[in-house]
Amino acid sequence: MRLEGISAAVTGGASGLGLATARKLAGAGAAVTIIDLPTSQGAEVAAELGARFAAADITDEQQFAAALDAAGPLRALVHCAGRGARIRLVEKDGEPGALEPFEDVIKLNLIGSYNALRLGAARMAEHDAVDGERGAIVLTASVAAFEGQIGQIAYTASKSAIVGMTLCAARDLASKAIRVCTIAPGIMDTPLLGRLREDVRKSLEDSVPNPKRLGEPAEFGALACNILENPYLNGETIRLDGAIRMAPR
């Protein structure tokens, strides 16, 4: 897929991995729509990039659908929106782990990804194929999908499900000439990690085999663009993690 001139949407595009992806897409000449919460910095970021901002909660079907419609004739969707929550199955006081935060993470990460697939693909399917394809969708999982750490039960469950959906979705959408891939990032240098103490940050860097540093959001954005551009990448989950394998805690 040629990125220049296409309509592309990025969820969670106001910060972190989504922002880095929006920058890469805009730099490649795509017409980018950032989809993020109304409380985000989406409007400011979009103005800086020469992009469009569409405020939406991705778990709300009507809001998300309207945001995708605002993107124009959608050809590319990179879905980065999501979050985690620390939950223990049995708390220190012996009480069972809380249910509500588990449900919240599943709703945002998993249901949100399902919405991205079905709502995004329905719009792409309306277009004529260009060079044999109508569009492509990139989802975001995590290395936690494979090596979930203690306390990541909700995050791991949601991200593992996204990995599981990837091949199924690619097969389902093959008849529509729409590709689906997933990126599973490791420890990325997002604003959240920027608040860590220097010694904690150094320990995280040392845990990465090579290169011995945190991943850069721009590297995620570059991979997302590579996936969109390469017509033979389909149904695959790609780890972007410097060969890290997460310890139990």
Q: What is the residue-averaged pLDDT of the chain?
A: 96
Would you say residue 200 has pLDDT above 90?
Answer: no
The pLDDT score that the predictor gives to residue 249 is 86
Query: Is 157 contained in some domain?
Result: yes
Query: Tens digit of pLDDT for each residue in 139-159?
Result: 999 999 999 999 999 999 999
Cβ-count burial of 229 within 10 angstroms (0-12 exposed, 13-18 middle, 19+ buried)? middle
- The answer to whether the bond into 185 is cis (omega within 30° of 0) is no
Distance CA 102, CA 152 (A): 10
**CA pseudo-torsion sign 152, 155, 157, 159:** negative
Query: Is 230 contained in some domain?
Result: yes
Query: Is 179 contained in some domain?
Result: yes
Query: Is 224 contained in some domain?
Result: yes
Query: Is 106 contained in some domain?
Result: yes
The pLDDT score that the predictor gives to residue 196 is 74
The pLDDT score that the predictor gives to residue 198 is 85
* CA 207 remoteness from chain centre: 23
Domain range enclosing 186? 7-240
Catalytic residue chosen out of the listed positions 115, 155, 170, 224 = 155
| Residue 193 or residue 135, greater confidence | 135
7: confidence class by pLDDT, cuts 50, 70, 90? very high
Active site residue 114: no
Would you say residue 217 has pLDDT above 90?
Answer: yes
Structural domain count, the chain? 1
Would you say residue 194 has pLDDT above 80?
Answer: no
Query: Is 245 contained in some domain?
Result: no
Query: Is 248 contained in some domain?
Result: no
Single out the residue of 82, 67, 83 nearest to residue 32, CA to CA. 67
Query: Is 174 contained in some domain?
Result: yes
Would you say residue 239 has pLDDT above 80?
Answer: yes
Distance CA 38, CA 218 (A): 24
Would you say residue 44 has pLDDT above 90?
Answer: yes
pTM of the predicted protein model: 0.96
The pLDDT score that the predictor gives to residue 203 is 87
The pLDDT score that the predictor gives to residue 195 is 72
Single out the residue of 26, 34, 19, 234 nearest to residue 138, CA to CA. 234
- CATH number at 66 reads 3.40.50.720
Tokens of 200: 């904690």
Query: Tens digit of pLDDT for each residue in 74-104?
Result: 999 999 999 999 999 999 999 999 999 999 9
| Residue 195 or residue 77, greater confidence | 77
